[in-house]
Amino acid sequence: MREVSLEEQKQRMLEMLKDFDQFCNDHDLSYFLTGGTLLGAVRHKGYIPWDDDIDVGMPRHDYETFIRIYNEERISPNYELISFHQKPGLYVSSGKLVDTETVMEELVDSEVTLGVYLDVFPLDNLGETEEQAKQLTERLLKVRRNLDIQNWKVSPDRVWYKNAVIKMIKMLAPKGIRQQLIAEQDRVCQTYAGERLTAYVGYPCAAMKQELLKGEWFESFKLLPFEQYSFRVPIGYEGCLNVFYGPNYMELPPEEKRVSHHLYKVWAKD
């Protein structure tokens, strides 16, 4: 197989994002750019130059519909929606829209082979009060930390003693613990599930810190340019970015921090 360059990966992801946008429009499903992709749209009008992924979010009600119907009604036969519902060996509870013409090798212990993908995160209700939201997210962060440990992978790129610790953790972990953690994360995320957004919402299945967003920020959307196209962002995108990255999100980070945090290789099935 042919190794895929970063620029080709970005182009493939952009084509997938176009497909995703069209599918959501055709099926009246709500979505928003989120995370670094949202920041890229606002600050760079496209990819953050040193970033290498695309993140989108969907209100839980729309997300569940998307998970259920995409593979049956998809536009392109080259894309597949993968979640733990279809493939229990997946290492996260959120969905991934995958380019099946590629194969990806990640530094993650996974039973499922992926290709270039978009992360599709459910936007979950966190409650009507700040106290409810904080209690729920604190509970979910504990699950996330335990899940991250189970997803560590032995690799020649790690020093030997870290690989030894990972092997010990894997050996002592109860059988099926990762699937149990993923199921728990998905269940707890839906504590306040409903078609209406609560006062506080967030992406707790993906968050590595406490991120409390306002439901009103997602009551409508606007289109912002991303590369040569335009995609949906929440009407309160400034509030979201302030929570994600702090009030100075429009400032570039120091040069030494302008690096990718993802470690993987990609091949095309040419």
Q: What percent of the chain has pLDDT over 70?
A: 100
Q: Could you write out the DSSP letters of every residue in 31-83?
A: -EE-HHHHHHHHHTSS--TT----EEEEEHHHHHHHHHHHHHH-S-TTEEEE-
Domain residues for the domain of 237 are: 2-268
| Top-confidence residue, 60 or 260 | 60
The stretches of 46-189 forming alpha helices (DSSP H) are 60-73, 130-151, 160-172, 177-189
Range in 109-123, 160-174, 241-255 the model is least confident about: 160-174
Give me the pLDDT at residue 34, please.
Answer: 98
d(CA 251, CA 111) in angstroms, rounded, equals 39
State the pLDDT confidence band at 162, using cuts at 50, 70 and 90. confident
Alpha carbon 56 to chain centroid, angstroms: 7
State the pLDDT confidence band at 139, using cuts at 50, 70 and 90. very high
State the pLDDT confidence band at 118, using cuts at 50, 70 and 90. very high
Which has the closest alpha carbon to 62: 30, 21, 40, 106?
Answer: 30
Range in 21-25, 84-88, 180-184, 249-253 the model is least confident about: 84-88
Mean pLDDT of all residues in 208-212: 96
Mean pLDDT of all residues in 51-65: 96
pLDDT at 174 > cutoff 80:
no
Give me the pLDDT at residue 17, please.
Answer: 98
Give me the pLDDT at residue 153, please.
Answer: 75
| Confidence (pTM) | 0.93
pLDDT in tens, 60-80: 999 999 999 999 999 999 999
- Three-state DSSP class for residue 173: coil
The tokens of 84 are what? 């733990």
How many structural domains is the chain composed of? 1
Mean pLDDT of all residues in 209-225: 97
pLDDT at 133 > cutoff 80:
yes
Maximum distance among all alpha carbons in the chain? 53
The tokens of 203 are what? 């992406």
Q: What percent of the chain has pLDDT over 90?
A: 79
| Other C-beta atoms lying within 10 Å of the C-beta of residue 128 | 13
Give me the pLDDT at residue 16, please.
Answer: 98
Cβ burial, residue 9 (10 Å; 0-12/13-18/19+): buried
Range in 76-80, 184-188, 257-261 the model is least confident about: 257-261
pLDDT at 103 > cutoff 90:
yes
